[in-house]
């Protein structure tokens, strides 16, 4: 089996490549960044949408892992064109090349997507049942209205694990671009009878992550390295699902080796508030500084977001417990 990994020099992609190579797979990487320790993989330096590279690489490929993307937490607006060009247009260029060549011999495309496509997710009101709210508005956030309320009775509601059937409501430009990637891959897969798997990653963490990238875990790691108090947004009670990077690799291998298609959440199945995460990480580093609750907020950021991973667990997926993953990561 010949495998293409786009973005194979990134945090997740490089680990995926390493694992595939260790299993004796024939691996090719396309990445706009120079190769690091990918000597056992075929490497092409360039954008994913580079037609010349694609026409050289794709005729021999059975499976594509499409990991390449520009990540944006959603609060920036200065990289709008770049985000759309890399995430949507490069994906379009790759898929158009596949269409022009009647699919080559490609049997499966596995797309790295994101939890951000869900928006605010899934909640339950005691009186009115389950509903799917829109993301909180800037006005709500500015007045400190942090928690989600029932739109009918205005009572506080309970967040529920997000399953793959929850309606998608992307808010940020990044979220919109990831949903567009999903739709493009799924439609082309239908056209050419190529199996498509969408993996919606929740908050990925692990040793070696770039602390200069956006994301709460990255921010905490950077401030720990500087011996500064960890800063949490809103009232500190935002909750997330943090998934260990090795489990992302586990999920990718599972869906490659099984005769499956469709959408799968990739999380830990554990929910933790950001204030508790900060305290856990402080304790692992032996820091006595109490996290600083800033009261700041990020627009397009859900209040609670944690995964129902039942579908992936049915394939044999077994995630790492958060305490173990944090110990491996923070102490690395």
Q: Which domains does the chain have, with CATH numbers?
A: 2-330 (3.40.50.720)
Distance between CA atoms of 102 and 99, rounded to whole angstroms?
A: 5
Rounded to the nearest 5 degrees, what angle is found at the Cα of 56, between the Cα atoms of 53 and 62? Answer: 105
As to burial, measured by CB atoms within 10 angstroms (0-12 exposed, 13-18 middle, 19+ buried), residue 213 is middle
| pLDDT tens, N- to C-terminus, the chain (332 residues) | 899 999 999 999 999 999 999 999 999 999 998 866 666 899 999 999 999 999 999 999 999 999 999 886 555 555 788 899 999 999 999 999 999 999 999 999 999 999 999 999 999 999 999 999 999 999 999 999 999 999 999 999 999 999 999 999 999 999 999 999 999 999 999 999 999 999 999 999 999 887 666 789 999 999 999 999 999 999 999 999 999 999 999 999 999 999 999 999 999 999 999 999 999 999 999 998 899 999 999 999 999 999 999 999 999 999 999 999 999 999 87
What are 308-328's pLDDT values in tens digits? 999 999 999 999 999 999 999
For 318, other C-beta atoms within 10 Å of its C-beta total 10
Element (H, E) at 215: none
> What is the sign of the dihedral through the CA atoms of 269, 275, 276 and 282?
positive
Return the structure tokens found at 325: 């993953």
Distance between CA atoms of 203 and 53, rounded to whole angstroms?
A: 31
Report pTM: 0.96
What are 192-218's pLDDT values in tens digits? 999 999 999 999 999 988 766 678 999
Return the structure tokens found at 228: 């500064």
Give the distance from CA 4 to its chain's centroid.
Answer: 19
């Amino acid at each position: 089996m010949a495998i293409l990994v786009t973005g194979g020099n990134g945090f997740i992609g490089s680990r995926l490549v390493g694992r595939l190579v260790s299993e004796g797979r024939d691996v090719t990487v396309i990445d706009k960044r120079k190769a690091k320790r990918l000597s056992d993989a075929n490497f092409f330096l360039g954008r994913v949408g580079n037609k010349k590279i694609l026409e050289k690489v794709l005729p021999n490929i059975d499976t594509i892992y499409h990991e390449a993307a520009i990540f944006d937490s959603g609060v920036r607006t200065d990289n709008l064109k770049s985000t759309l060009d890399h995430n949507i247009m490069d994906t379009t260029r790759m898929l158009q090349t596949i269409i022009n060549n009647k699919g080559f011999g490609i049997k499966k495309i596995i797309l790295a997507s994101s939890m951000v496509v869900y928006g605010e997710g899934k909640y339950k009101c005691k009186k009115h049942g389950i509903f799917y709210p829109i993301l909180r508005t800037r006005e709500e956030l500015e007045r400190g209205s942090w928690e989600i309320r029932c739109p009918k009775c205005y009572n506080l509601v309970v967040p529920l694990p997000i399953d793959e059937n929850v309606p998608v409501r992307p808010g940020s430009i990044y979220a919109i671009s990831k949903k567009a990637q999903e739709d493009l891959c799924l439609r082309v897969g239908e056209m050419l009878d190529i199996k498509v798997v969408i993996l919606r990653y929740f908050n990925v963490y692990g040793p070696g992550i770039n602390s200069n990238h956006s994301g709460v875990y990255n921010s905490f790691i950077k401030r720990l390295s500087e011996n500064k108090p960890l800063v949490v947004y809103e009232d500190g009670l935002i909750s997330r699902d943090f998934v260990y990077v090795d489990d992302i690799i586990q999920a990718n291998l599972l869906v490659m080796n099984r005769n499956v298609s469709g959408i799968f959440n990739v999380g830990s199945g554990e929910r933790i508030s950001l204030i508790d995460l900060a305290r856990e990480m402080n304790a692992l580093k032996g820091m006595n500084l109490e996290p600083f609750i800033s009261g700041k907020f990020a627009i397009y950021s859900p209040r609670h977001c944690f995964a129902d991973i039942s579908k992936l667990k049915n394939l044999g997926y077994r995630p790492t417990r958060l305490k173990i993953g944090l110990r491996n990561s923070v102490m690395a």
